[in-house]
Amino acid sequence: TSAVMAVACGRGLLALLAGRLRAGSRVPLRSVAAAAPLYDVVVSGGGMVGSAMAAVLGHDIHFHDKKIALLEAGPRKECDHMPDSYSNRVSSISPGSATLLSSFGAWDHVCSLRLKPFRRMQVWDACSEAMIVFEKDDLDDMGYIVENDVIMSALTKQLDAVADRVEVFYRSRAVGYTWPLPSHSCDTSPWVQIELADGRRLQTKLLIGADGHNSVVRKEAEIKNIEHRYDQSAVVATLHLSEATDNNVAWQRFLPTGPIALLPLSDTASSLVWSTSHEHASELLGMDEESFVDSINSAFWSNVNHSDFIDTAGAMFRSAISLLKPSGTAVRQLPPSVAKVDPGSRAMFPLGMGHATEYVRHRVALIGDAAHRVHPLAGQGVNLGFGDIACLAHHLSAAAFNGSDLGSLKHLLKFETERQRHNVSLIAAVDVLKRLYSTRLAPLVLLRTWGLQATNALPPVKEQIMAFASK
Amino acid sequence: QLSLFRFTVKRLFSTSRSSVDSKEMKKFQLLAHKWWDEEGEYSALHSMNDIRVPFIRDTLLNMSSNYHLGNPLSGVKILDVGCGGGLLSEPLGRLGASVTGIDPLEDNIRTADQHKSFDPVLAKRIQYKSSSLEEIVEESMETFDVIVASEVVEHVADLEMFIKCCSRVLKPEGSLFITTINKTQLSYILGIVVAEKIMGIVPEGTHEWEKFVPPEELERLLESNGFSVKTVNGMLYNPLSGSWSWMESMSVNYAMHAVKSGARGQSSPTDALSESESEQPSATAGTAV
């Protein structure tokens, strides 16, 4: 029998040279590795998505007796109370994401810290009069603008609540991963081996990569990533409005250089996300505060990009629509004007898109930006990550209740199929929108003008879009 | 009565391997190391866990009033007869049960032992023993809360003796779970011709149609040996998706749950839960308070 097993070993190793089950470098480890502590799940990356993933599993009843670890390279951020000034990094949280966060008690913390619900979203073109307005029939909250620090604080609190199940390793960066052979018939450890920067080792039955768009987990697993750097950077800042208002509308205008968005933070403050060319972004950062504020107001109010041709064509189309659908057009409203920018709140970061060809491997799953990266124009980035968490947690919970091996591809593939189906269409659509709105060419402007006006006049289509984006 | 009992036990012990068929053992010897290849020869048994583990789990939960969803089978002692490489023992162990897995083939036990050794929780919860059922009867009288004999009874030499032994090692009102193959024309076509010869879902020669057990006969044998049959469900394997599902008809595969009568010949334990249908609790993610 030992000869049979030796042959099986050899054949097993050869069989693994092809196929999706191969991943990275393999060093078969003997039982020396038994010394490293074994976890059921290790989440690599303690950002919003990684922390939420660990917290969701930690609060799952079927994971009551399991051991979970969260690896975060940065230090622990203590924040029981928020500073008075708003942080410049905010996210638009969809109702679906809010539901996920409330499922393990984090949303209550967010509400007790601070957030701003918005009820309307107006999106319009700089090159024409075309615009589209999204709002719920019952004027319910469409989404919430929340500072990333607030979300992190809420997540940290909920992780503390399950500290007996979830061990958080701060200031710990994983530097190496060793993948197991899929169906081990030899004397090798079946678990994923993780080596930290300080030399400590961990073993895990399932590694979840939530380490951002430059994911090390994805790279080490040799999962192909389709990526593209946009020639755009996003400028963020915290702005103060000229006058207090019922600030419950999210505004976005598509300039030829890129979309500029104003997201409400309070009745007197809003957050800016302005995607534009790298040069313009640097210019905006370098300007004095007055010129910066003037650029913002002009970006929202000026009609310099209009052309008579497009205006006439747009007007004709609009009157045609109003014949067929009298309620189909609405008056374009103007966003509040900006008076001041918070000093020191201006920052910029480059934009890109990315999508991993595979989200899962034997004992590995990618979530959040590690799996997909999208342009901020649709406010979907972190919501896609939260959607990944909801789906993966659902499958892992069922697997745990079935006594299954958590790292088994069987349920990981179900997660991958479900999420890829959802994410690919959204990422592709956002990419198309980004490209479509990056031009001044008349035919494309006409196309998008008519397209936007038509979509605005069709409630069923708008409802579908809203439903898809709020999952 | 007691002396007759001892005599019977001695007789069983002297013909120790009589429920074990040596021809059957040879068949499994060749594949002893293939158990844990999820895409290999035993892939259908791996995917059968998706329905047999919830079946066992939910039946036991429905009969009990005191359990924690994070460790549903905690405190339950299970005997897995014909455990092979431990494919069913491990999930049951993960759910909290103390599992004893027995298999007459030493190589299977070796594979099972090695596979569980890497997981300290499983290594403690599961004990494997190379043995036939008869060999453990004497030392394990009325020891187990549950016996599972999955895909086993179609391989045993003497089914009635097998059932008698199950009864001996099971506590009163303990549960016996059996999954096996029916003896019908359809099971010959699907279970042998298609599964073995055409599609290679099961290694050729694994099953002999003559030894398949119709549910009526199994039920008769169980009822006449102190068991009360509670549930019988048909099972169906879809070779395209590689997954199992429950089916009305029992013409191919089926699962049976029987309960050993109580010490004084009483009937089944009272249902502590108010559910009267045997439906499975949903396995969606729950949150702890």
For the residues A247-273, what does the mean pLDDT come to? 93
Domain formed by A38-81+90-470, architecture: 3-Layer(bba) Sandwich (3.50)
Size of interface A-B (CB pairs under 8 A): 97
Residue-level pLDDT at A183? 67
Interface test with chain B among A185, A191, A192, A391, by most B beta carbons within 10 Å: A185
Instruction: Please answer yes or no on whether B283 and A405 come within 8 Å at the CB atom.
Output: no
Shortest distance between the Cα of A92 and any Cα of chain B, in A, equals: 25
**How far apart, in whole angstroms, are the C-alpha atoms of residue A271 and residue A356?**
30
Number of structural domains, chain B? 1
Write out the residue range of the structural domain in which residue B88 sits.
22-260
Q: What is the mean pLDDT of chain B?
A: 85
Partner-chain contact A56 B39, CB within 8 Å: no
Residue B262 has pLDDT above 50, yes or no: yes
Q: State the Cα–Cα distance between residues B175 and B178, nearest whole angstrom.
A: 10
Please give the helix or strand (H or E) that residue A26 lies within, else none. none
Q: Tell me, what amino acid is at B220?
A: R
Q: Would you say A97 and A383 are in contact if contact means Cβ atoms under 8 Å apart? A: yes
**DSSP state, residue A265:** -
For residue A378, the model assigns a pLDDT of 87
Contact list, A5 vs chain B (CB under 8 Å): 33
CA pair distance A183, B114, nearest whole angstrom: 13
Contact A397, A60 (CB under 8 A): yes
Contact state of A104 with B94 under an 8 Å Cβ cutoff: no
Report if residue B17 sits inside a domain.
Answer: no
Task: For residue B152, give every residue at least 6 positions away whose Cβ sits within 8 Å of its Cβ, in sequence order, or none.
Answer: B81, B82, B178, B180
Label residue A151 by pLDDT band (50, 70, 90): very high
Q: Give the whole-angstrom CA distance, residue A361 versus residue A185.
A: 19
A266 in Cβ contact with A116 (< 8 Å)? yes
Any chain A CB within 8 A of the CB of B203?
A: no
CB contact under 8 A, B49 and A60: no
CA distance B69 to chain A (A): 6
Q: Tell me which of A30 and A226 has the higher pLDDT.
A: A226
- Which residues of chain A neighbour B50 with C-beta distances below 8 Å? 402
* pLDDT score recorded for residue A170: 95
CA distance A142 to A459: 15
Strands A90-93 and A166-169: unpaired
Strand-strand pairing, B144-150 and B77-81: parallel
Average pLDDT for A180-201: 85
Decide: B91 and A404 in contact? Cβ < 8 Å: yes
Name which of A11-20, A57-66, A87-96, B138-147 the model is least confident about: A11-20
Q: Describe the crossing of helices A442-456 and A459-469 by its angle, rounded to 10 degrees.
A: 90
Token pair recorded at residue B287? 């949150």
The H-assigned helical ranges of A402-436 are: 409-436
Chain B residues whose CB is inside 8 A of the A59 CB are 287-288
Element (H, E) at A251: strand A249-255
Minimal-distance CA residue of chain A relative to B120: A38
pLDDT digits (tens, 9 = 90+) for A278-291: 999 999 999 999 99
Which one has a higher pLDDT value, A197 or B13?
A: A197
Query: Is B58 touching A (CB cutoff 8 A)?
Result: no
Pick the residue from chain A with its C-alpha nearest to B34. A185
In this predicted structure, what is the pLDDT of residue A329?
Answer: 56
Q: If you measure CA to CA, which chain B residue comes closest to A64?
A: B70
The share of chain A scoring above pLDDT 70, in percent, equals 90
User: CB–CB of B69 and A393 under 8 A?
Assistant: no
Using the beta-carbon criterion (under 8 Å), do B110 and A185 form an inter-chain contact?
no
Per-residue tokens: A336: 């509040």
Q: Which two tokens stand for residue A323?
A: 């014949």
Instruction: Please report the sign of the dihedral spanned by the C-alpha atoms of residue B220, residue B225, residue B226, residue B229.
Output: negative
What's the pLDDT tens digit per position in A381-423?
999 999 999 999 999 999 999 999 999 999 999 999 999 999 9
The answer to whether residue A38 scores a pLDDT higher than 80 is yes
pLDDT tier, A327 (very low <50, low <70, confident <90, very high otherwise): low
Res. A240: pLDDT tops 60: yes
Residue B289 has pLDDT above 80, yes or no: no
CB contact under 8 A, A62 and B33: no
In the prediction, which pLDDT does B162 show? 95
Are B38 and A410 within 8 A, CB to CB?
yes
Report the range of poorest mean pLDDT among A121-130, A420-429, B42-51.
A121-130
pLDDT average, residue stretch A359-364: 96
- A375 is written with which tokens? 């342009």
Hey, are the CB atoms on A185 and B95 less than 8 Å from each other?
A: no
> Does B285 contact A at CB distance below 8 Å?
yes
Tokens linked to B55: 């079946």
Residue A184 confidence (pLDDT): 59
Contact across the interface for A64 and B71, Cβ inside 8 Å: yes
Q: What backbone phi and psi angles, to 5 degrees, belong to B70?
A: -85, -15
Average pLDDT of span B105-109: 93
Beta bridge partners of A261: A252, A273
The pLDDT of residue A314 is: 81
User: Of A18, A180, A3, A13, whose CA–CA distance to B33 is shortest?
Assistant: A3
Task: Give the up-direction half-sphere exposure of residue A104: CA atoms within 13 A in the CB hemisphere.
Answer: 29
- B260 by Cβ neighbours in 10 Å (0-12 / 13-18 / 19+) ranks as buried
d(CA A461, CA A469): 12
Report the run of H or E that residue A457 belongs to, with start and end: none
What pLDDT score does A388 carry?
97
Binned at pLDDT 50, 70 and 90, residue A326 comes out as low
Judge whether residue A129 has pLDDT over 50: yes
- Amino acid found at A471: K
CB B180 within 8 A of CB B266: no
From chain B, the residues in CB contact with A402 under 8 A are 49-50, 53-54, 57, 91, 283
In a mutational test of the A interface, the residue from B29, B98, B282, B287 whose CB has the highest number of chain A CBs within 10 Å is B287
Place of tokens 């910029």: A348
Q: How many angstroms from the chain centroid is the CA of residue A107? A: 17
- Closest chain A residue to B283 measured between Cα atoms? A398
Taking an 8 Å cut-off on Cβ atoms, the answer to whether A65 and B72 are in contact is: no
Which pLDDT score, from 0 to 100, does residue A34 have? 52
Written as one string, the DSSP assignment of chain B is -HHHHHHHHHHHHHTTTTTS-HHHHHHHHTTTT-TT-TTSTTHHHHHHHHHHHHHHHHHHHHH-S---TTSTTTT-EEEEET-TTTTTHHHHHHTT-EEEEEES-HHHHHHHHHHHTT-HHHHHHEEEEE--HHHHHGGGTT-EEEEEEET-TTT-S-HHHHHHHHHHHEEEEEEEEEEEE--SHHIIIIIIIIIIIIS-SS-TTS--GGG---HHHHHHHHHTTTEEEEEEEEEEEETTTTEEEEES--SSEEEEEEEE--TTS--SPP-SSS--S--PPP-S--B--
- Identity of the residue in B47, B69, B90 whose CB atom sits nearest the CB atom of A61: B69
Q: Which one is predicted more confidently, A205 or A427?
A: A205
CA atoms of B135 and B14, how far apart (whole Å): 10
**A64/B288 CB distance under 8 A:** yes
pLDDT value for A455: 85
Task: Say which DSSP state A291 is in.
Answer: H
Which of B68, B114, B287 comes nearest A59 by C-beta?
B287
Whether B70 maps to a domain, the answer reads yes
CA distance to partner chain A, nearest, from residue B215 (Å) = 26
List CB contacts of A257: < 8 A, sequence separation 6 or more: A276, A277, A280, A438
> Considering only CB atoms, which chain B residues are within 8 Å of A103?
287
Write out pLDDT tens, residues B14-40.
444 567 877 778 777 777 788 988 888
Q: What is the pLDDT of residue A374?
A: 92
Quote the mean pLDDT of chain A: 88
Q: How confident is the model at residue B199 (pLDDT cuts 50, 70, 90)?
A: confident
CB nearest B284 (choices: A187, A397, A403): A397
**Whole-number pLDDT of residue B21:** 79
Q: Is B80 on the interface with A (CB under 8 A)?
A: no
Does the pLDDT value for residue A10 go beyond 70? no
Q: B59: closest CA among B179, B162, B169?
A: B179
pTM: 0.86
Output the CA angle B217-B177-B49, nearest 5 degrees. Answer: 120
Dist. CA B289–CA B238, nearest whole Å: 39
Confidence band for A467, pLDDT divided at 50, 70 and 90: confident
Taking CA–CA distances from B242, the nearest residue in chain A reads: A410
Contact criterion met (CB < 8 Å) for B92 and A403: yes
CB B191 within 8 A of CB B212: yes
Q: From the CA of A64, how many Å to the nearest CA of chain B?
A: 5
Sketch the domain layout of chain A as residue ranges.
Answer: 38-81+90-470
CA distance B9 to chain A (A): 34
Whether the pLDDT of residue B7 is over 50: the answer is no
Shortest CA gap A86–chain B (Å): 32
With an 8 Å Cβ cutoff, the interface of chain A facing chain B consists of 1, 4-5, 8, 34, 38, 56, 59-65, 103-104, 182-185, 187, 189-191, 393-394, 396-398, 400-405, 408-410
B79/A58 Cα distance (integer angstroms): 31
**Contact (CB<8Å) A4/B114:** no
Q: How far is residue A266 CA from its own chain's centroid? A: 23
Gyration radius (Cα) of chain A, Å: 25
Q: A321 falls in which pLDDT band (50, 70, 90)? A: confident
Phi and psi torsions of A338, nearest 5°: -100, 135
**Residue at B198 is within a domain:** yes
Dist CA B162 CA A165 (whole Å): 43
Q: Give the closest residue to B46 by CA, choosing from A408, A184, A192.
A: A408
- Contacting residues for B112 by C-beta, under 8 A, at least 6 apart: B35, B83, B84, B85, B86, B89, B101, B103, B126, B128
Condensed to tens digits (0 to 9), the pLDDT of residues A53-109 reads 999 999 999 999 999 999 999 999 876 778 889 999 999 999 999 999 999 999 999
Please tell me if residue B39 touches chain A, with a CB cutoff of 8 Å. yes
Question: Hey, how many other C-beta atoms are within 10 angstroms of the C-beta on A214?
Answer: 13
Query: Hey, are the CB atoms on A5 and B118 less than 8 Å from each other?
Result: no
Taking the alpha carbons at both ends of chain B, their separation in whole angstroms is 54
Measured between beta carbons, which residues in chain B are less than 8 angstroms from residue A184?
36
Q: Do B71 and A405 touch (CB under 8 A)?
A: no
Contacts of B54 in chain A (CB under 8 A): 402
- Determine the pLDDT at residue A448: 86
